[in-house]
Structure 1
Amino acid sequence: MKTADTERPRQGTAILKTALRRNIGAMVAGTVLMGLYQAAETAFPIALGLIVEHTMRDRSLGSLGVSIGSLAVIITTVSLSWRFGMRVLQKANTTEAHCWRVRVAACGLQPVARDTELKSGEILTIATEDADQTADIIEVVPLLVSSLVAVVVAAVALSLADLRLGLLVVAGTAAILSVLAVMSRRIGAGTQEQQARVARAGAKVADLIVGLRPLHGFGGNHAAFGAYREVSTDAKRQAITVARVNGTYAGTALALNAALATAVSLTAGWLAFEGRITIGELVMAVGLAQFIMEPLKMFSEMPKYVMMARASAERMALVLNAPPVSTPGPERPEPGGALEVDGVRHGTLRGVSFSVAAGEFVAIAAYQPRAAADLAAVLAVNAAPGAYGGVVRVGGREIGDLSIDAVREHLLVNPYDGEIFAGTLRTNIDPSGRGREIAEAVEASMLTDVVALHREGIDHPVRDRGANLSGGQRQRLSLARALAAGADVLVLHDPTTAVDAVTEQLIARNVAKLRRGRTTLVLTSSPALLDAADRVLVLDGGVITAEDTHRNLLAGDAAYCLAVAR
Structure 2
Amino acid sequence: MARGTTITTDRPTSKRVGALRALWPFVRPYRAQMALALIALAATSAISLILPLAVRRVVDNFDDGAGLLDEYFGAALVIVAALALGTAARYYFVTRLGERVVADIRKAVFARVVTLSPAFFERVMTGEILSRITTDTTLIQSVIGSSLSIALRNMLILSGGLAMLAFTSVKLMGLVLLIVPAILVPIIVLGRRLRGLSRVGQDWIAASSGAASETLLAAQTVQAFTHESRSIARFDDVTERSFDVALTRIRTRALMTAIVIFLIFAGVIGVLWIGARDVRTGAMTAGQLVQFVIYAILVASSTGALSEIWGEVQRAAGATERLGELLAAEDALTDPALPIALPRPVRGQIALRGVAFRYPTRPDVSALEGIDLTIRPGETVALVGPSGAGKTTVIQLIQRFWDPAAGQVMLDDIDLRAMRRDDFRQAIALVPQDPVIFAASALDNIRLGRPDASPVEVQAAARAAHAHDFIGALPQGYDTPLGERGVMLSGGQRQRIAIARAILRDAPVLLLDEATSALDAESESLVQAAVARLSEGRTTVVVAHRLATVKKADRIVVFDGGRIVAQGTHDVLVAEGGLYARLARMQFTDMAPMPEPA
Query: Shared topology, TM-score over 0.5?
Result: yes
Residue identity in the other structure for 2:373: F
Alpha-carbon distance between aligned partners in 1 of 2:563 and 2:445, rounded to the nearest angstrom:
35
User: Quick check: 2:354–2:406 contact (8 Å CA) kept in 1?
Assistant: yes
- Which residue is equivalent to 1:6? none
- Which residue is equivalent to 2:423? 406
Alpha-carbon distance between aligned partners in 2 of 1:198 and 1:372, rounded to the nearest angstrom:
38
Per-residue CA deviations over 1:173-205 (Å, capped at 9, x if unaligned) read: 454244313322322222222222322332333
Range that drifts further, 152-161 or 338-347: 152-161
Alpha-carbon distance between aligned partners in 2 of 1:221 and 1:358, rounded to the nearest angstrom:
50
Alignment of 1:506-521 (within 5 A): 506-521=526-541
Alpha-carbon distance between aligned partners in 1 of 2:108 and 2:127, rounded to the nearest angstrom:
16
Deviation at 1:491, TM superposition (A): 1.3
Q: Does 1:537 align with 2:557?
A: yes
- Which residue is equivalent to 2:347? 336
- Which residue is equivalent to 2:357? 346
Alpha-carbon distance between aligned partners in 1 of 2:130 and 2:559, rounded to the nearest angstrom:
37
Give structure 1 stretches of 5+ with no counterpart. Answer: 1-10
Alignment of 1:81-100 (within 5 A): 81-100=86-105
- Which residue is equivalent to 1:246? 253
Range that drifts further, 343-352 or 133-142: 133-142
Alpha-carbon distance between aligned partners in 2 of 1:517 and 1:265, rounded to the nearest angstrom:
93
Alpha-carbon distance between aligned partners in 1 of 2:254 and 2:162, rounded to the nearest angstrom:
29
- Which residue is equivalent to 1:4? none
- SS of the residue 2:551 aligns to: helix
- Which residue is equivalent to 2:480? 460
- Which residue is equivalent to 1:196? 203
Residue identity in the other structure for 2:377: A
How has the CA–CA distance of structure 1 residues 300 and 267 changed in structure 2, closer, same or farther, with 3 Å as cutoff? farther
- Which residue is equivalent to 1:130? 136
How has the CA–CA distance of structure 1 residues 361 and 52 changed in structure 2, closer, same or farther, with 3 Å as cutoff? same
Deviation at 1:216, TM superposition (A): 4.2
Per-residue CA deviations over 1:363-414 (Å, capped at 9, x if unaligned) read: 22231247344333322322134xx222211122222122213321223444
Alpha-carbon distance between aligned partners in 2 of 1:175 and 1:138, rounded to the nearest angstrom:
31
Deviation at 1:83, TM superposition (A): 0.8
User: Quick check: 1:49–1:281 contact (8 Å CA) kept in 2?
Assistant: yes
User: Quick check: 1:504–1:528 contact (8 Å CA) kept in 2?
Assistant: no
Residue identity in the other structure for 1:261: V
- Which residue is equivalent to 1:5? none
Per-residue CA deviations over 1:217-243 (Å, capped at 9, x if unaligned) read: 555565555544444443333333333
Q: Does 1:434 align with 2:457?
A: no
Alignment of 1:78-477 (within 5 A): 78-110=83-115, 117-134=123-140, 136-137=143-144, 139-173=146-180, 175-217=182-224, 223-329=230-336, 330-333=339-342, 335-347=346-358, 348-369=367-388, 371-385=390-404, 388-431=405-448, 432-435=450-453, 438-454=458-474, 456-477=476-497
How has the CA–CA distance of structure 1 residues 112 and 473 changed in structure 2, closer, same or farther, with 3 Å as cutoff? same
Deviation at 1:353, TM superposition (A): 3.2
Residue identity in the other structure for 1:76: A
Deviation at 1:564, TM superposition (A): 4.9
Give structure 2 stretches of 5+ with no counterpart. Answer: 1-17, 359-366, 591-598
Deviation at 1:95, TM superposition (A): 0.9
Residue identity in the other structure for 1:502: E
How has the CA–CA distance of structure 1 residues 248 and 495 changed in structure 2, closer, same or farther, with 3 Å as cutoff? farther
Deviation at 1:171, TM superposition (A): 4.2
Alpha-carbon distance between aligned partners in 1 of 2:396 and 2:517, rounded to the nearest angstrom:
19
- SS of the residue 1:244 aligns to: helix
Q: 2:584 aligns with which of 540, 552, 561?
A: 561
Per-residue CA deviations over 1:428-468 (Å, capped at 9, x if unaligned) read: 11134234853343134331232220353222223332233
Range that drifts further, 214-223 or 422-431: 214-223
Deviation at 1:148, TM superposition (A): 2.4
Deviation at 1:52, TM superposition (A): 1.8
Alpha-carbon distance between aligned partners in 2 of 1:119 and 1:35, rounded to the nearest angstrom:
44
Residue identity in the other structure for 2:127: G
How has the CA–CA distance of structure 1 residues 261 and 501 changed in structure 2, closer, same or farther, with 3 Å as cutoff? farther
User: Quick check: 2:20–2:316 contact (8 Å CA) kept in 1?
Assistant: no
User: Quick check: 2:49–2:157 contact (8 Å CA) kept in 1?
Assistant: yes
Alpha-carbon distance between aligned partners in 1 of 2:225 and 2:514, rounded to the nearest angstrom:
19
Alpha-carbon distance between aligned partners in 1 of 2:475 and 2:459, rounded to the nearest angstrom:
17
Residue identity in the other structure for 1:561: A
User: Quick check: 2:168–2:291 contact (8 Å CA) kept in 1?
Assistant: no
How has the CA–CA distance of structure 1 residues 256 and 501 changed in structure 2, closer, same or farther, with 3 Å as cutoff? farther
How has the CA–CA distance of structure 1 residues 227 and 142 changed in structure 2, closer, same or farther, with 3 Å as cutoff? closer
- Which residue is equivalent to 1:483? 503
How has the CA–CA distance of structure 1 residues 66 and 377 changed in structure 2, closer, same or farther, with 3 Å as cutoff? same
How many residue pairs align between the two structures? 552
- SS of the residue 1:246 aligns to: helix
How has the CA–CA distance of structure 1 residues 520 and 455 changed in structure 2, closer, same or farther, with 3 Å as cutoff? same
User: Quick check: 1:364–1:536 contact (8 Å CA) kept in 2?
Assistant: yes
Range that drifts further, 237-246 or 168-177: 168-177
Alpha-carbon distance between aligned partners in 2 of 1:333 and 1:156, rounded to the nearest angstrom:
69
User: Quick check: 2:574–2:584 contact (8 Å CA) kept in 1?
Assistant: yes
- SS of the residue 1:531 aligns to: coil
**Percent sequence identity over matched residues?**
25
Alpha-carbon distance between aligned partners in 1 of 2:165 and 2:105, rounded to the nearest angstrom:
44
How has the CA–CA distance of structure 1 residues 495 and 261 changed in structure 2, closer, same or farther, with 3 Å as cutoff? farther
Alpha-carbon distance between aligned partners in 2 of 1:272 and 1:140, rounded to the nearest angstrom:
39
Deviation at 1:141, TM superposition (A): 4.5
Alpha-carbon distance between aligned partners in 2 of 1:324 and 1:108, rounded to the nearest angstrom:
10
Alpha-carbon distance between aligned partners in 1 of 2:264 and 2:499, rounded to the nearest angstrom:
66
Per-residue CA deviations over 1:22-55 (Å, capped at 9, x if unaligned) read: 4443333323322332333344344333212210
Residue identity in the other structure for 2:94: L
User: Quick check: 1:264–1:285 contact (8 Å CA) kept in 2?
Assistant: no
How has the CA–CA distance of structure 1 residues 232 and 373 changed in structure 2, closer, same or farther, with 3 Å as cutoff? farther
Alignment of 1:52-71 (within 5 A): 52-55=59-62, 57-58=63-64, 60-71=65-76
- SS of the residue 1:203 aligns to: helix
User: Quick check: 1:342–1:392 contact (8 Å CA) kept in 2?
Assistant: yes
User: Quick check: 1:363–1:529 contact (8 Å CA) kept in 2?
Assistant: no
TM-score (norm 2): 0.83
Residue identity in the other structure for 1:492: L
